[in-house]
């Protein structure tokens, strides 16, 4: 099969790493890919949002299957376009993609289908005084979210009324989130452990992948600013088999049935961001793609071929199973100088010896080659080191050992990835 992977991050590199091991693969392309993806396939200079050009490329190059990494092309309707042209694509249509593209669409969908999530209210910029009035009597902490895509930055959690007023101003007065902030969702604060569940589905049949835990803050001990994700591990012990069964019954099944009944069976991977509250698991958010870096750890866990599963999903006929190694996988992300604020890029990267084991991988993301062919930093999250191990500790040690061989000016990575998982296992005496 000829396969095209759309995107340029560590997520796409890890999917490529896995697909490249499939006996079914003939030729693999990345659009646009990065300095690391050229190890697994051929990079072509088309960006992820150029969906017309991508369709033309797929037609001209006998692409049998296109895999979409990031949300932007999905929200732009890449799957609708490919399907209209008779091209097989793994990724939900633009109707389903609105579950990520609009918090209001996601909240209304969950309300309609009785899916557990935080209570909420919607406020429009045109009636902003209603929001300020609401803040007078709201319970704190409170969660305020821009409706649209805001690169993971559109969520504010004020803990007092005064903080909430300042937060409301950033949406409606300072216009920090542009059109994405024309409507704001005010949501009840949920407390508990967070976990992510990925569902690979053709809209009816599905596989729930081992639950992951991300590390969204830049600093150790969950300090500092929010990022795209600084590390992850799989499976997260906090999401026990009992909780996972609840997630399946109360969240995954009603979500898939709901979308199907709306005439839009979901074909791709659904990301369910969860809060494991004392009242049971509740949805924090849906994303319509794999999380990055969680995907990198998930790829290391898989023992069976992924390509047939993704291909069957693209054709709406998922029948193949998936199997996973028995153990844990972890990923640690190294970020560029200044991330997540003002970045300094162009620093030379020394990778050292790359791993050769099937249980270890370095996935490049924000890394490119300069005109001399030297590897330099080109994005906020520069690379991830991902490893499988029989125990969580083994997998973390292995990921950190790879990281210790890598160097660049201003390099930052968290030293406490997986700590919550280790603590949870220790408590249950499984370590």
Binding site for ligand GLY (CB under 6 A): 214, 228-229, 287, 291-292, 294
Least distance to ligand GLY, CB of residue 292, Å: 5
The span of 127-135, 182-190, 294-302, 383-391 binding ligand AMP (CB under 6 A) equals: 182-190
Strand 42-43 vs strand 360-364: parallel, antiparallel, or unpaired?
Answer: unpaired
187 binds ligand AMP (CB under 6 A): yes
Q: Contact 90/67 with Cβ under 8 angstroms?
A: yes
Cis-peptide, bond into residue 340, ω within 30° of zero: yes
The item of ligand AMP, ligand GLY, none sharing an interface with residue 147, based on CB under 5 to 8 Å by kind, is none
- C-alpha pair distances (Å), 182 with each of 163, 176, 185: 20, 10, 10
Least distance to ligand GLY, CB of residue 303, Å: 24
* C-beta atoms surrounding 87 within 10 Å: 20
294 binds ligand AMP (CB under 6 A): no
Least distance to ligand GLY, CB of residue 59, Å: 30
13 binds ligand AMP (CB under 6 A): no
- C-alpha pair distances (Å), 426 with each of 15, 188, 281, 346, 396: 32, 32, 23, 42, 15
Which residue among 78, 135, 209, 284 contacts ligand AMP (CB under 6 A)? Answer: 284
CB nearer to ligand GLY: give 72 or 294. Answer: 294
- Residue number of the CB atom closest to ligand GLY: 229
The item of ligand AMP, ligand GLY, none sharing an interface with residue 229, based on CB under 5 to 8 Å by kind, is ligand GLY
216 binds ligand AMP (CB under 6 A): yes
**119 Cβ contact list (under 8 Å, min separation 6):** 187, 188
153 binds ligand AMP (CB under 6 A): no
CB nearer to ligand GLY: give 147 or 292. Answer: 292
Please return the burial class of 342, using the count of CB atoms within 10 Å of its CB with bins 0-12, 13-18 and 19+.
exposed
CA angle 343, 347, 351 (to 5 degrees): 120
Give, as ranges, the residues between 371 and 400 that touch ligand AMP (CB under 6 A). Answer: none
CB nearer to ligand AMP: give 102 or 368. Answer: 102
Least distance to ligand AMP, CB of residue 242, Å: 22
Buried b (16+ CB within 10 A) or exposed e, 174-203: eebbeebbbbbbbbeebebbbbbbbbbbbb
* C-beta atoms surrounding 59 within 10 Å: 13
Least distance to ligand GLY, CB of residue 382, Å: 15
280 binds ligand AMP (CB under 6 A): no
CB nearer to ligand GLY: give 144 or 298. Answer: 298
- C-alpha pair distances (Å), 417 with each of 326, 327, 333, 334, 400: 20, 17, 9, 12, 9
CB nearer to ligand AMP: give 129 or 341. Answer: 341
Q: C-alpha dihedral over 247, 251, 256, 261, to 10 degrees?
A: 150
DSSP 3-state assignment of 189?
Answer: coil
Least distance to ligand AMP, CB of residue 141, Å: 8
Least distance to ligand AMP, CB of residue 314, Å: 27
| CA-derived radius of gyration, the chain | 21
190 binds ligand AMP (CB under 6 A): yes
Tell me which residues touch ligand AMP (CB under 6 A): 118, 143, 145, 152, 155, 187-190, 194, 216, 273, 284-285
């Amino acid at each position: 099969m000829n396969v095209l992977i759309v995107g340029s991050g560590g997520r796409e590199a890890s999917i490529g790493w896995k697909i490249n091991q499939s006996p079914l693969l003939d030729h693999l392309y990345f659009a646009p890919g990065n300095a690391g993806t050229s190890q697994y396939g051929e990079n072509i200079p088309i960006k992820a949002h150029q969906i017309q050009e991508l369709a033309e490329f797929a037609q001209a190059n006998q692409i049998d299957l296109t895999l979409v990494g990031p949300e932007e092309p999905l929200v732009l309707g890449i799957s609708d376009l490919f399907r209209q042209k008779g091209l097989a694509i793994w990724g939900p249509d633009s109707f389903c993609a609105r579950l990520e593209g609009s918090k209001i669409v996601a909240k209304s969908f969950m309300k309609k289908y009785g899916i557990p999530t935080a209570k909420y209210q919607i406020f429009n910029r045109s009636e902003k005084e209603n929001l300020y009035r609401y803040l007078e009597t709201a319970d704190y902490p409170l969660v305020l979210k821009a409706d649209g895509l805001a690169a993971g930055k559109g969520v504010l959690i004020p803990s007092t009324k005064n903080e909430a007023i300042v937060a409301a101003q950033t949406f409606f007065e300072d216009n920090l989130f542009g059109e994405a902030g024309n409507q704001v969702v005010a949501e009840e604060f949920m407390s508990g452990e967070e976990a992510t569940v990925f569902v690979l589905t053709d809209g009816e049949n599905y596989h729930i992948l081992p639950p992951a835990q991300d590390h969204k803050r830049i600093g150790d001990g969950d300090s500092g600013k929010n990022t795209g994700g600084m590390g992850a591990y799989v499976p997260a012990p906090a999401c026990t088999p009992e909780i996972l069964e609840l997630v399946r019954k109360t969240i995954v099944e009603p979500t898939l049935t709901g979308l199907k009944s709306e005439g839009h069976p979901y074909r791709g991977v659904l990301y369910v961001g969860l809060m494991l509250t004392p009242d049971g698991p509740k949805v924090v958010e849906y994303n319509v793609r794999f999380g990055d870096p969680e995907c990198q750890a998930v790829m290391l866990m898989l023992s069976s071929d992924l390509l047939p599963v993704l291909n069957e999903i693209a054709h709406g006929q998922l029948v193949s199973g998936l199997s996973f190694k028995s153990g844990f996988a972890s990923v640690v992300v190294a970020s560029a100088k200044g991330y997540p604020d003002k970045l300094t890029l162009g620093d030379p990267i020394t990778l050292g010896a790359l791993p050769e084991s099937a249980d270890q991988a370095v996935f490049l993301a924000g890394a490119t080659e300069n005109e001399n062919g030297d590897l330099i930093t080109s994005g906020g999250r520069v690379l991830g080191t991902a490893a499988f191990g029989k125990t969580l500790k083994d997998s973390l040690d292995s990921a950190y050992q790879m990281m210790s061989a890598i160097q660049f000016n201003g390099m930052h990575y968290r030293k406490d990835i997986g700590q919550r998982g280790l603590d949870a296992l220790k408590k249950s005496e499984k370590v």
